[in-house]
Amino acid sequence: MSDCTDEEILSKGFDNLIVFSGIDESRAAVREALRQELPLDYAKVTEHATMKAAVEVFNGRLTDKELPSKSLVAQKLEQVEDNAPYAEDMRDVTSVEDAESEAYNAVIDPSAAVLRIKPGRAAATPPGTPEELRLRHRRIGRAWEM
């Protein structure tokens, strides 16, 4: 945070944690109150969070176990861009909970001799029960919705 921003916050009277915590009850209400008081440029929500919010409007609140991972959504996006949908391997149908530590892979493109960073793919164990299979199918559907 810059010194100017610090000075602006202090000049509005937000000089200790007790004052700051007493602004309002909910996180959304606090953000709205601060947005009105302070002319700050707030961080935007990520695309994945925006897509999650849009899907939750119709499906209700989703847990991390029900929500498709970023790699699964990226895989669906590639299928749409290439106009080549295909059936998934159930081990690749991961949730946000399964893929908490998704890594990135470095790939050298031999034609251009360029290093490309691609999102890594998380893999889960194959579904062991009918309920797990149904959950994976719901994740695929939600990935298409997103």
pLDDT in tens, 60-69: 888 888 888 8
Co-location of 75 and 24 in the same domain:
no
Question: Does any domain span residue 109?
Answer: yes
Instruction: For residue 107, report the phi and psi dihedrals to the nearest 5 degrees.
Output: -125, 130
Domains in the chain, number: 2
Question: Does any domain span residue 121?
Answer: yes
Q: What is the domain range of residue 90? A: 64-145
Question: Does any domain span residue 15?
Answer: yes
Distance CA 41, CA 25 (A): 22
Question: Does any domain span residue 18?
Answer: yes
Total Cβ atoms within 10 A of residue 122: 20
Report in angstroms the alpha-carbon separations of 108 from 78, 102, 132: 19, 20, 37
Distance CA 117, CA 106 (A): 5
The pLDDT of residue 136: 93
Q: What percent of the chain is modeled with pLDDT above 70?
A: 74
Give me the mean pLDDT over the 35-46 stretch: 64
- Residue among 76, 115, 72, 78 at smallest CA distance from 95: 72
Q: With bands split at pLDDT 50, 70 and 90, how would you rate the model's confidence at 46?
A: confident
Question: Does any domain span residue 45?
Answer: no
The pLDDT of residue 134: 94
Distance CA 93, CA 136 (A): 6
The pLDDT of residue 135: 93
Question: Does any domain span residue 141?
Answer: yes
Co-location of 89 and 141 in the same domain:
yes
Question: Does any domain span residue 98?
Answer: yes
107 in Cβ contact with 115 (< 8 Å): yes
The pLDDT of residue 37: 72
Tokens at 96, concatenated: 């946000």
Helix (H) or strand (E) holding 49: helix 47-59
Co-location of 133 and 72 in the same domain:
yes
pLDDT in tens, 86-120: 888 888 888 888 876 555 666 777 777 777 766 66
List the single range of 28-32, 41-45, 55-59 with lowest mean pLDDT: 41-45
The pLDDT of residue 1: 52
Question: Does any domain span residue 96?
Answer: yes
Helix (H) or strand (E) holding 116: strand 114-119
Instruction: For residue 50, report the phi and psi dihedrals to the nearest 5 degrees.
Output: -65, -45
